[in-house]
Amino acid sequence: MLENISFGLREAEILGLAGPSGCGKSTLLRVLCRLHEPDSGCVWLQDRHWDEMGILEYRRRVCFIPQIPVALAGTVEANLHYVYDLHRDLARPKDIGELLERVRLPRNLLDQAASNLSVGEKQRLALARALALQPDVLLLDEPTSALDADNAKHIIELLAEICGNGALSALISSHISEHLHIAERTLIIEERSIRSA
């Protein structure tokens, strides 16, 4: 789908990814998180080739949040605890509800079945799970597509704040140009290649 592409993501940078529907934005993000293997080429993360890391370590450090988020079976609280069950080296927070509040979800959802959440709530739950991993890079595919304008603005501002604090870098795909205004740079996918905007 994409040929001869090369780009870098700097520490604490928000990089936008734009292009028409079907151009390969989602596919690129899936390759970068190793859900799909590329025909050729590789990814380097802080001077380490991705083959030097186990898949679990790599996916903890490079988190992908798809456009249609996945809620795991069980309660919202169980969804959040899953992160710490899988990655035992991470310190489990004393107050798991703070993870929800960070993405503007109320604490009273902790006891709810995650499957009963709206798509927008599932999207924010997926972001809360990803942030709990303390990743180096977030890959977000249309992160505000299922949110109303107010919550979309909050998520975009939250991402800007987190990256601005130097906590992580983000690659955000969006067809909505105003959601890419927080990006320091934007890459455009067109005709099977990438160029800077």
Residue 173 lies in a domain: yes
pLDDT tens for each residue of 81-120: 999 998 988 888 999 999 999 888 999 999 999 999 998 8
Q: Which residues contact 32 (CB under 8 A, 6 or more apart)?
A: 43, 62, 64, 139, 171
Q: Count how many domains the chain has.
A: 1
In a domain, 5, yes or no: no
Residue 91 lies in a domain: no
Contact call for residues 184 and 13 (beta carbons, < 8 A):
yes
150-189 per-position pLDDT tens digit: 888 888 888 888 888 887 999 999 877 766 888 999 999 9
129 falls within a domain: yes
CATH number of the domain where residue 132 is located: 3.40.50.300
Residue 113 lies in a domain: no
In a domain, 115, yes or no: no
> Which amino acid is residue 102, in one-letter code?
R
Q: Which helix (H) or strand (E) holds 186?
A: strand 185-190
- Domain assignment of residue 66, yes or no: yes
Query: Is residue 29, in this structure, part of any structural domain at all?
Result: yes
- What is the tens place of the pLDDT at every residue in 52-86? 999 999 999 999 999 888 899 999 999 999 999 98
Domain containing residue 180: 14-72+120-196
Give 1's contacts (C-beta < 8 A, 6+ positions apart): 24, 27, 192
Q: What is the pairing mode between strands 169-173 and 14-18?
A: parallel
Q: pLDDT, tens digit, for every residue of 122-133?
A: 988 999 999 999
Global model pTM greater than 0.85: yes
